[in-house]
Structure 1
């Protein structure tokens, strides 16, 4: 059964660090893990660098970057596909063949359960119904489980429970 977990938060909050750590953790367990990065930059101009490269090195079997209108995919060898248009993020993410899809971004969508990543000194997102946990170095006012950023084991157990991987 394929499951999806979202990672949202503002820039520099630690979203990519958490997403890549989850990819590494579940891939090391033998799960087929996909990483999807939503960006406001044109993905056609991206190379295999930055966040997508880190996810691939962490063991993601599928790596996708999507802007507002097109997506690109990298294979295990780092070859990038031609940009493909898409209309619906749910269909894009739902079409990925993996046991677990870790989606970073799309903070305004509520299509799958999301973990909110916050950090002291970084603007906070407003609460949303899809937030199932908070990863933060400060206290959270949200009535959901809170994890310290370095508690990967606890976060992974939580993802196991809610995502049914």
Structure 2
């Protein structure tokens, strides 16, 4: 996890009062980590490093990458150690899990989102045995197709972990 109970608050606003606040903040915790890893030059220094972010969803990643690219374009002098756009490091070094599975109203939005991230960059995670786990029988929509579903359910994990 990029968040947890290490004694430090997981949000900028302190300890969450409600579970909905805690769960929604998982994504912002991962956004902070990705931003730091990219901008500090971790992936420039360790180009083969593979980072898998779990239990923070994935819908937030494209907008973060777009924002970082825009800022890098205007402030590249501040981070001369970055030889690529931030989105290039993100696409090369970051993998995400499905939990919690994103569920937009229109199926094509999920397809577009996953295409931008990369079908090979998304791994299935259920968060079982928690009460709000994603049931593997239903978590990945059938409209994504058998090949993509097989990759998400296991093929991508085999590839990223080298099994």
Between structure 1 and structure 2, the one with the greater Rg is: 2
With normalisation by structure 2, the TM-score equals: 0.28
Q: Which has the higher strand share?
A: 1
- The TM-score normalised by the length of structure 1 is 0.28
